[in-house]
Amino acid sequence: MQTIKKRFIYTGILIFVAGIVIETLSSAILGAIATALEPSRVPMMWAVESIVGATRSGLAPLGAVLLAIGIALHWLRDYLPEAPTTSDPDAEQTRP
C-alpha cells in the first residue's frame, strides 16, 4: 500500500506539472505546427488543435485527481486504523 500511495502522489505531481507546461506552451506549439504545415493542410490543423486542446485541458486536472487519490490513501492508511471497527455500541462495550 505504501508504494501505491507514493506512485499516485509522484505520478500526480508529474502529470500536473506536464499539464501546466503544455498549457503554457500550447500557443507556441500550435504556432510552430501551423507554420510547418502547408496551406493545403488546413483540415489537419483542426485535428492538431483538438488534440492539443484536449491534452491542455485534461492533464492538469488528471494530475490533481491522482495527487488527491494518493493523499486520500495516505490519510486512510494512517488515521482510519484508529477508528472503531464496528458501529454497534454494545459490541464496543464488551471489549476488554
Contact 77, 5 (CB under 8 A): yes
Confidence (pLDDT) at 88: 57
Which helix (H) or strand (E) element contains residue 71?
helix 42-79
Following DSSP, what letter does each residue of 4-67 receive, concatenated? HHHHHHHHHHHHHHHHHHHHHHHHHHHHHHHHHS-GGGHHHHHHHHHHHHHHHHHHHHHHHHHH
Per-residue pLDDT of 16-58, as tens digits, reads 888 888 888 887 877 887 778 777 777 777 777 888 888 878 8
Residue boundaries of the structural domains of the chain:
2-83
Per-residue pLDDT of 54-81, as tens digits, reads 887 888 888 889 888 888 887 777 776 6
